Structure 1
């Protein structure tokens, strides 16, 4: 076992070891879902706890039209395999997969379905884990408006798909058009701020130390009036997860960036000592 970037890395099975992982807003069943990146993440990480924090399968989109790739199947099979091998997998449905809420408290294979849970970190902090759509006034009070917004969002993602295909041909990395637009629109920024404050307030009223959620596709980890607010992001735009190290420390992982930056370092760690000495001599 070695460490890279402060994380445990097992050279034998090439897996990053975490105590807990939170992922959400995967949106399987849509063209915008970055299932290949997620599958790579799942293959290269292991954890004691794996939380699926809502919008895993996009039921809204699949009601409009059927879209399902082999990679989407592979993601589900990989999660089920992790559960069978002993990972504690907890599935917390969101608004796009709200149909699963009728099964709260039940087990699906080795996966437990809950509306929310309290997670205690290795260093003793108690975190409320939920999707977060209940704090979205548009979803709760005007679902039709949320569905219209979702369709417009889908159009943006399709534009984003072709835009990034062009970037790839030019040798450029992934860039999220939809995320850029959201961050530039003042009303979207105000919504995100209100959402974050409302979710943090819920944890505060329950006497907890923090909250982990998804829903708004904006990975974030910061303190809001003494409450640790964590959003694990998404696998449509940001390709992010929240992870807990064995010490209880929490970090946000941007998988594409991490994978690119660490590939060279991992290769160097795996290199025989004689080769490493040779490289050092050449550099000298």
Structure 2
């Protein structure tokens, strides 16, 4: 075996898969694409890295179509069939954190605030949603709530804008991703977030971190610390996958693929980079 993801009955098999920022309970959630992704991929261990259920949104308005139930069912089915499922809480599903102390396993799913994952090549990675390392979310929640509302408005604009682009034969373009990568204040916030996570890994003697929170899939090195971000299932439809040799890649599952996986290996590199 060469360690690469192997197809089994038409499916791709990984040692570990991480997904985050699904935001079940919101209209922006790409639940149907996630169900399709889960059908086409198998793994020994599945990490749900926070903001899987959007408790913030569900508190103000109930939205839960059948597609969102299908995601829950698919995860439960995987757990029942032997996949080890670890649910790492995030800020949007922080209502679950009060249950972590009870060491609950719901439907064979372990509920934790963070975890340490050991890769096949022996590296130890902190698995955390990442909101505890975001100064705005941690200390100025009202700003985070306002920003969430602004993000939702941006996504509504993005929907109609990209619908018009599609009619003109143009590719999908993300306003929020553009802002995160090019607006100075957003870039500084993201950079501080990433640096803070790397510093915590060094403090604990860990080799790297797997996180979510900022909806930007990426694989890179920050001063020798491996940094992996899952991305999201609102815009990018991305996940992380670890092969049998411990190599981690970004898996992109796009609308354009019409259900075909587009797994792209992103080499670990220094400096900033665009998500794979």
Q: What is the TM-score normalised by the length of structure 2?
A: 0.89
Written as runs of structure 1 = structure 2, the 5 A alignment for 1:108-257 is 108-256=106-254
User: Which secondary structure does the structure 2 equivalent of 1:256 belong to?
Assistant: coil
Gaps of 5+ in 2: 263-276
1:78 paired to 2:74: yes
Deviation at 1:176, TM superposition (A): 2.0
Per-residue deviation, 1:100 = 0.6
Give the RMSD, CA atoms, in angstroms: 2.2
- Following superposition, the deviation at residue 180 of structure 1 comes to 1.8
Taking the aligned partners of 1:250 and 1:135, their CA distance within structure 2 comes to 23
2:25 is matched with which residue? 29
Is the CA contact 1:2–1:8 (under 8 Å) kept in the aligned structure 2? Answer: no
1:64 match: 60
TM-score by length of 1: 0.86
Match of 2:47 among 51, 55, 62: 51
CA 1:2/1:249 → structure 2, altered by over 3 Å: closer, same or farther? closer
Q: Is contact 1:134-1:140 (8 Å) kept?
A: yes
CA distances 1:128-178 after superposition (whole Å, capped 9, x unpaired): 101110011111111111101100111011111222333344444433222
Tell me by how many angstroms 1:233 deviates. Answer: 0.8
* Counterpart Cα distance in 1 of 2:151 and 2:119: 35
Q: CA offsets per residue over residues 1-42 of structure 1, 9 Å max, x none?
A: 999xx53112x2x21100000000011111111111111111
Q: Distance in 2 between matches of 1:193 and 1:257?
A: 29
SS at match of 1:180: helix
> Does the aligned pair in 1 maintain the 2:253–2:259 contact within 8 Å?
no
Cα displacement (A) at 1:68: 1.5
1:91 paired residue among 83, 87, 90: 87
Whether the 8 Å CA contact 2:217–2:229 is kept in 1: the answer is yes
Gaps of 5+ in 1: 265-284
Question: What is the number of equivalent residue pairs in this alignment?
Answer: 260
In 2, are the aligned partners of 1:32 and 1:161 still within 8 Å (CA)? no
Flag the 1:197–1:79 CA change in 2: closer, same or farther, 3 A. same
* Greater C-alpha Rg: 1
1:41 to 37, 42, 53: 37
Larger helix proportion, structure 1 or 2? Answer: 1
